[in-house]
Amino acid sequence: MGVEMQVERQVELRFGGDTVRTGNHVNLSAAYVEGSTLWLAGDETATVERLRLDSPHGPTVADRATTFSLAELVELPGGPDEEVDVEGLARTADHLWVVGSHSLVRKQIKPKHPPEKAFKRLAKVRREPNRFVIVRLAVQDYADGPPAPVRATPAGKHSALVGARGSVGLTDVLADDPLIRPFLKIPSKDNGFDVEGIAVHGDTVYLGLRGPVLRGWAIVLEVAPHPDPDDDGRLVLGELPGGTRYRTHLLDLGGLGVRDLCPHGDDMLVLAGPSMALSGPVRLYRWRNAAATDASRLVRGEDISLVGELPHGTGEDHAEGIALLPGPGPARLLVVHDSPGQDRRPTRSSVIADVVTLG
């Protein structure tokens, strides 16, 4: 058990429009901060949110929300109305990266369901194509306003995705993997395959898996998406140095799975939580020199250390996304939550995020 990390301050995130109508603001799963711009995403739609922080170093409010539809920027395989189940955001100089869960879905049992219907619902598993994408959005910077994702920039950067209709996607590449193959047909909340974090370092994309957790070992995959030479709107999973199309890193997170990834220099901060439908524990780990690896590896011992425990509720206040705040002094993390409790909902259209200090 680690030391509980103290909440230094809280930030009110204010939304509007369809985001509030759909309830996506209470299903936050990913965050990224650049200057005064806060990028957010939830797991119930196919959109990305952009908010403006009142201070990049010591924020208390984020507002002026703008919603960007992924379907207006890339050709989603399941069409514009199907959710992507966004589980991670990452930023590079010219792009904003978005990853879907790549998970199958099993229907939930509700209190009103009699036993016969409950059994039938649990037996139904479906595949929603939009969940199986890795999206690289071209971002246009403006001198007189915040950055915005666009289909294409004047400099020739294009929004594109892995997992376009009829193309080879991540799970296709993993179909013969001896560790992962058995879990590709299992829904996410059953310890099945489930992406819940993304980080980018150079040409390499790291994908953290909530599940499967294998005999207590969590998984981070490393891939290298490249532009499709025949289609500006598509990416292909190219070869990494050494000739492989992906690397597999097994992390000792004390039996927990990955909930988010956040680069910190050459290290990687790993938000960890249960792979199954449990509320906690929620812990933050530091994966040392994650960016220095050039092969699949076991991450244990001195390579991984527990930073601390994050507060969580029971059935609510699930920490799902972390983002580094800029500024001098000790590093600070913004933490956003899925299923916020009532004390995190000061108004119908706003939710509360936490700021914790790494120390």
pLDDT computed for residue 143 by the predictor:
86
CATH 2.160.20 fits 7-357, yes or no: no
SS3 assignment, position 58:
coil
Q: Which residues of the chain have pLDDT under 50?
A: none
Q: Can you tell me the distance from the alpha carbon of 164 to that of 326, in angstroms, rounded to the nearest whole number?
A: 34
Query: What's at 313, amino acid-wise?
Result: G
Task: Report the run of H or E that residue 221 belongs to, with start and end.
Answer: strand 217-223
Q: Can you tell me the distance from the alpha carbon of 187 to that of 148, in angstroms, rounded to the nearest whole number?
A: 34
Other residues' Cβ atoms within 10 Å of the Cβ of residue 191: 18
> Dihedral angle at the C-alpha atoms of 164, 167, 171, 174, nearest 10 degrees?
-150
- pTM score, two decimals? 0.96
CA atoms within 13 A on the CB side of 330: 8
pLDDT computed for residue 1 by the predictor:
58
For residue 341, give the DSSP letter: -
pLDDT computed for residue 189 by the predictor:
85
